[in-house]
Chain A
Amino acid sequence: MTIYRAGELTARLAAALAEQPQELHLDLHEVSEFDTAGLQILLAARRHMHAAGGVFTAARASECVLDVLELCNLTDLVCGENTSARQ
């Protein structure tokens, strides 16, 4: 999830939301790169779901995602019990 694929990922999220407006579940365990653009997408998605009264979960964050979230004090973005990718 980096700036290079941000447009594409956002489009996919938008498509998923159009199908399922009330629920968004993200599985992050295959994310190999994560930068500010990626972080923005997660934040934007969560804000949108909360504003719409829907459910947002992001789970199984990979190492690089966790690194960023810890740095930014945003570990609450991902579900605690599912972040056991870190061993």
Chain B
Amino acid sequence: MNLDPALSTFVSESRELLREMEAELLACEHGEAGAESINAIFRAAHTIKGSSGLFGLNAIVEFTHVVEGVLDRVRARTLELDNELAALLIECRDHMQAMIDCVAQRGEVDSEQLDADGARLLQRLEAFGGSRRTATPAAPPTAAADSTKPQTQPQPDAWRALTDCWHISVRFGPDVLTNGMDPLSFLRYLTTFGEIAGLQVVDDGMPPFEQFDPEVCWLGYEIGLRTDAGKDRIEAAFEFVRDDCTLRILPPRSQVAEYVALIRDLPEADDRLGELLVRCGTLTRQELNDCLDMQAAQSETTGGAAMLGEVMVREHVVQPAVVEAALRRQREARTETKKADGLLRIDSEKLDRLIDLIGELVTAGAATSIAARVVGGSELNESTLRLSRLVEEVRDQALKLRMVQIGPTFARFKRVVRDVAREVGKQIRLEMSGGETELDKTLIESIVDPLTHLVRNAIDHGVEAPQERLARGKSAEGLLRLNARHDAGSIVIEVQDDGAGLNRERIVRRALERGLIEDASVLSDAQVHALIFEPGFSTAQQVTNLSGRGVGMDVVKRNVAAQRGTIEIESREGVGTLVRIRLPLTLAIIDGFLVRVGRSSFVLPLETVEECVELEAGQRAADDGHSYINLRGSVLPFIRLRELLGVDGARGKRESVVVVRWGGKRAGVVVDELLGELQTVIKPVSRLFSRLQGVSGSTILGSGEVALILDVGGLVERCLAGAEARPPQSRNEEPNAHLVVL
């Protein structure tokens, strides 16, 4: 994938437009479409068509042209945008997306599959009046429009010129030359796909030599062009000066009336123009005379059928220019608002580099603080203090740069929900909240797949079929809720449905079959539900046997865990299911709490630390792997880090308990010494240690020493599991922490 920058901008902008288009089309399908929605859809299609033309992506231009034609009719209210049409347009949008994706990969649209898909869609569009070339002589739009009107028009209007050439009238704006354009290059471009049958330079606008400004463009051209290309192709030739010229294109064998309209509309004298048309070979002398006669007749008539016909023709001819101008204004308005928002597109690589550097800065800052403390001196300490405060602020700001709102990602699920619901024949209402919650961009990207999976599962297996729902006294329409919020240094994303919920018996039966459990009677509901995340649980057989969930849930869990996140499930049979994903706020840098066990340092994420208490002598006597303390009247299970990680050396004289909280559960971690807060850059642990439980990463301390970052979620789980009297896992599997540090 080696695209030139302009093309890759085109691709990314088109994708953005297609996303907008999708959102609006979905709104239309829900019957929430205002005129503004339709305009937005049209605008998106039109812009994509225009830019595709610039890159010579004819497949996209041709397809989009038809779509645009249909949209134009919707906009003009001659066609109603019903569900069926909206659904078809969504498919067309998908096809455009597929073509753009193809361009992104290979730089052009070169797939036969795509061609075939496109042809099929075009055929279906024809039912809505989308024709490949709206301007072909076979079916000129005017003729179609005329046929709906009473036949009051005089016969001559139906006369057609004999020429087989397109006629192009173009007048350039005064600034074309100073803008660096040379009209000659457009003419030369025309010759690449057609033959210029006749060409006349129109210099009538030129002032006398005394007032002649050589840098102003005074010229225009009347061109007769013999070509098989369509109107859009010809228009595209003038794309670069679209805003800066008046362009009129008449197809071959147009109605004489259209030539009359052309002659009238152009600024030059009628006779002179007629002469030019004859010289271009567009009209024969006889045709011109007819034209001029007809025109004279029309000028004399006041009102009446002839006028009506002419007005209609003129309206048709004028329309593209009007539409163009309107579009331009809208586009300008859009750039205005963009400017007002002050948004900037930044290469994400640059941002990553900045974050890396700030990570280094944080480490170096910590080293300086330690050095300053050793050296002493109040001035030095004061300035390092100020420095570290600034570093902290810079870090926060830099991390915020990576933060994006989850709203747009949620919005994507509108489409997923719609498609899946249709597929399985259910009615689903999607509710979203907390779209303004921000999280790290890379995190968002990594969470889309698991979320999609959960949403699909919820609709497919969670929500019941409409009849079943009605039988259970629920509304026929199922509810799916997506919610995001911040919670104690992490992001919580919930997928909730009001479906059938998990069936305990089925899960237990399945788990017994798979040998995941031996006895279900001791398991709480939550523990049973958690079984569906077990790797062995999802099999093909299960999809058919079990109408609950569990399809690939282990994959979802693995993906979430890869981002240092956790996943949990709450379900009540007959009421619904809620899946909760908990993710860390950022990936790169955290505020940590440094502790020491033996000679090794460990870091606990600060936001998980609630408080620190001393481990009393009486409690220390307990010698097994985990135990409890009485924390102000409540039971707090704790775990000894020394034993968990197999740290060498005797216990210190004093030990402390760090009380940590994760996902609403609390546990104590016993350590030798508390060293205080620090900022730390997370470095991933190498793959060798990736299976190591209780450790989520490593970091380099200011002193150059390596410290492991503890996975608090894992620790709490273990601690509680121990408290529920499950035998501790075989200890010798635990690697020695010193191995990692050295």
Taking Cβ atoms with an 8 Å cutoff, the residues of A that contact B are 3, 6-7, 9-10, 14, 17, 35-37, 39-41, 43-45, 47-48, 51, 68, 71-74
A14-B209 Cα distance, complex, nearest whole Å: 8
What A residues does B173 contact at CB under 8 A?
A: none
On whether the beta carbons of B203 and A71 are closer than 8 Å, the reply is no
A9 touches B214 (CB 8 A): yes
20 contacts between A and B (CB under 8 A): A3-B182, A3-B215, A6-B177, A6-B215, A7-B215, A10-B212, A17-B209, A35-B182, A35-B184, A37-B214, A39-B219, A40-B214, A40-B218, A43-B201, A44-B218, A48-B212, A71-B184, A71-B187, A73-B198, A74-B201
Complexed CA–CA distance, A41 and B212 (Å): 9
Take A3-B178, A3-B215, A17-B209 as given contacts and tell me if A43 and B184 are in contact as well, using a CB distance cutoff of 8 Å. no
Interface of A is mostly: helix
Query: In the complex, A6 Cα to B182 Cα: how many Å?
Result: 13
Q: Is the CB of B26 closer than 8 A to any CB of chain A?
A: no
Asked if B199 is an interface residue, CB under 8 A from chain A, the answer is: yes
9 closest A-B pairs by CB: A6-B214, A48-B209, A10-B214, A44-B212, A35-B182, A73-B199, A3-B177, A43-B203, A36-B183
- CB of A70 to closest CB in B, whole Å: 10
Instruction: Check if B208 is an interface residue, CB within 8 A of chain A.
Output: yes
Q: How far is the CA of A78 from the CA of B150 in the complex (A)?
A: 55
**In the complex, what residues of A have CB within 8 A of residue B183's CB?**
36
**How near does chain B come to A46, taking the closest CB pair, in angstroms?**
10
Interface SS majority for chain B: loop
- Are A36 and B214 in contact, with the CB atoms below 8 A? no
CB of B215 within 8 A of CB of A36, answer no
Set of chain A residues within 8 Å of B187, measured between Cβ atoms: 71-72
Q: How far is the CB of B347 from chain A (nearest CB, A)?
A: 36
- B179's nearest neighbour on chain A, judged by CB, is A3
Q: Enumerate chain B residues within 8 angstroms of A7, measured Cβ to Cβ.
A: 214-215
Q: Does B373 contact A (CB under 8 A)?
A: no
Q: A37 to B216, alpha carbons, bound, how many Å? A: 8
Q: Which residues of A contact B200 (CB under 8 A)?
A: 73
Extra A-B contacts (13), CB below 8 Å, given A39-B201, A41-B214: A3-B182, A6-B214, A10-B214, A14-B209, A36-B183, A36-B184, A37-B177, A37-B217, A43-B201, A43-B203, A44-B214, A72-B187, A73-B200
Complex: A56 Cα to B290 Cα, angstroms: 37
Task: Name the B residues within 8 Å of A9 (CB-CB).
Answer: 214
Tell me the complex Cα distance, A8–B200, Å. 27
Contacts of A35 in B (CB 8 A): 177, 182, 184
Report B-chain residues with C-beta under 8 Å of the C-beta of A51: 208
Residues of A within 8 A of B88 (CB): none
Q: Which residue of B lies closest to A11 (CB)?
A: B214
Query: Bound state CA distance, A68 and B183, in angstroms?
Result: 11
Q: Does B322 make an interface contact (CB < 8 A)?
A: no
Complex CA gap A37/B172 in Å reads 12
Which chain B residues lie closer than 8 Å to A74 at the CB level? 201
**With A45-B209, A73-B198 known to touch, is A36 a contact of B219 (CB < 8 Å)?**
yes
- Give the CA-CA distance A41 to B215 in the complex, in Å: 10
